[in-house]
Amino acid sequence: MRFSPALFRHAEVLLSELLRSAFPADLVVSNYFRQHRELGHADRGFVAEIVFAVLRRKRSLSARCADEVTSRRLLLAALACLQGMNRRELAVVLNESESKWLAHAKAVKVDDLPVAVRLDLPDWLYGLLTEQFSAEEIERLAAGLNQPAPLDLRVNSLKAGRQDVLARLLADGLTAEACPYSPLGIRLAGKPALSKYPLFVDGSIEVQDEGSQLLGFLLQPRRGEMVADFCAGAGGKTLLLGALMRSQGRLYAFDVAERRLARLKPRLARSGLSNVHPVRIDSERDIKIRRLAGKLDRVLVDAPCSGLGTLRRNPDLKWRQTPGSIAEMSTKQAVILAAAATLVKPGGRLVYATCSLLEAENEEVVRSFLAGHPEFVTCSAQEVLATQGIMIDCGERLRLLPHRHGTDAFYAAVMERE
């Protein structure tokens, strides 16, 4: 791909839309590319990569822009300071005044900036992280969150084995390796287009972060059981649970949004699963939930959360969330967890999980729940995984972090009803 004024202009227009949009960045980017089908795969890759780089490093890039923070300057600073492009390479889009400014921007000593600015974190988030991590670990965590996420796949064990899939990917010229923890995980290099790839079309593989895959192994569903994915969304974890059950038993996929469940349907058709029952509910108090009280063997609650553990792929979230939105989220999470717990029968398992970094959405929610529900006791997440041959240093309550495990940041508590 050759850098050009036209590509730079697309990136500038898209970034301007992103910075003023109330919608998630991935949705805005997808819509933009649908409107500009003249852009090829490599061109879309360049534009997406540079605008997401700006979103990740917006605070330190803004410091380089001095008094005039515009989409154009943010992009030029990113290309020069993050991508290493020199003034000769950028000459096709630079004017004389910008050339002088860019030299100044590159000379800014990032180490002299305030810590939160240097790490590209909002002050409130940096403050909360200092209560949970050492200064040294925050540095490593921020660096991990500011890297693009790799592309992880999950092999559908109903249709294929991981070694066979790896061999096929390599034979087709894709660079792939087994994920270190998930027995079904494969990590690809780069961002190849998969929507028309035969193994994707026939349901042998699905895109799913390795950390997300491990949540299914924490629930550990068995053949013939009654299981629920309480906040199923588009069903990535639902499909994994169904495969672990060998498509036997009954698996409910609950969600309040019809449009999210609609995205599950084509994936379900590809998967070959016959035990999944998508169910839209009005709320956690829906009569459909109450009818199943005390009847389920296992319930997964991957609760709606801030998403701050997914900043590698959703960097805009750190600029969109606020302390107020976190407080609202933790209240909602407590209500959802309590409702999901009513489904679990004696001896059954309940897993509460989020893709958040924050104690307010994780430990505090679980601690409050356990205080009000003494019939539930916690199990060691690390030991649950070890019994399945998954050796990972993740703690009593699962905590995954990008700089430690190479995954998105996840939290999970495994509980059983006595």
Distance of alpha carbon 7 from its chain centroid, rounded?
A: 28
pLDDT, position 95: 85
pLDDT, position 86: 85
Tell me, what amino acid is at 153? L
- Residues 55-80 have pLDDT tens digits of 999 999 999 997 789 999 999 999 99
Distance between CA atoms of residues 372 and 32, nearest Å: 48
Burial class (CB in 10 A: 0-12, 13-18, 19+), 231: buried
Distance between CA atoms of residues 312 and 191, nearest Å: 14
For the chain, the residue count is 418
pLDDT, position 99: 84
Distance between CA atoms of residues 4 and 8, nearest Å: 6
pLDDT, position 3: 83
pLDDT, position 67: 79
**What is the torsion angle, in degrees rounded to the nearest 10, for the CA atoms of residue 202, residue 208, residue 210 and residue 213?**
-80
**Catalytic machinery residues:** 355
- Residues 276-314 have pLDDT tens digits of 999 999 998 899 999 999 999 999 999 999 999 999 999
Using pLDDT thresholds of 50, 70 and 90, give the confidence band for residue 100: confident
Q: Which residue, chain included where needed, has tokens 């795969």?
A: 41
Taking a C-beta distance cutoff of 8 angstroms, is the pair 301, 231 a contact?
A: yes
Structure tokens at 247: 């498509």
Structure tokens at 355: 């893709």
Ramachandran angles phi, psi of 396, nearest 5°: -60, -50
Using pLDDT thresholds of 50, 70 and 90, give the confidence band for residue 1: low
pLDDT, position 91: 86
Structure tokens at 178: 């087994």
Longest dimension (CA), the chain: 73
The reported pTM is: 0.94
Structure tokens at 349: 């398992």
Distances (CA, A) of 175 to 132, 171, 184, 213: 37, 9, 17, 21
Distance between CA atoms of residues 412 and 384, nearest Å: 12
Ramachandran angles phi, psi of 188, nearest 5°: -100, 150
pLDDT, position 255: 95
pLDDT, position 89: 87
- Residues 382-394 have pLDDT tens digits of 999 999 999 999 9
pLDDT, position 97: 82
In 3-state terms, what secondary structure has residue 229?
A: strand
- Residues 5-59 have pLDDT tens digits of 999 999 999 999 999 999 999 999 999 999 999 999 889 999 999 999 999 999 9
Taking a C-beta distance cutoff of 8 angstroms, is the pair 186, 165 a contact?
A: yes
Ramachandran angles phi, psi of 341, nearest 5°: -65, -25
Nearest Cα to Cα of residue 210 among 116, 295, 310: 310
What sign does the CA torsion over 20, 21, 27, 31 have?
negative
- Residues 179-200 have pLDDT tens digits of 999 999 999 998 898 999 999 9
Nearest Cα to Cα of residue 317 among 358, 260, 261, 363: 358
pLDDT, position 281: 95
- Residues 147-170 have pLDDT tens digits of 999 999 999 999 999 999 999 999
Q: Can you tell me the mean pLDDT for 254-267?
A: 93
Distance between CA atoms of residues 417 and 375, nearest Å: 6
Residues 6 or more apart whose Cβ sits within 8 Å of residue 43: 1, 7, 10
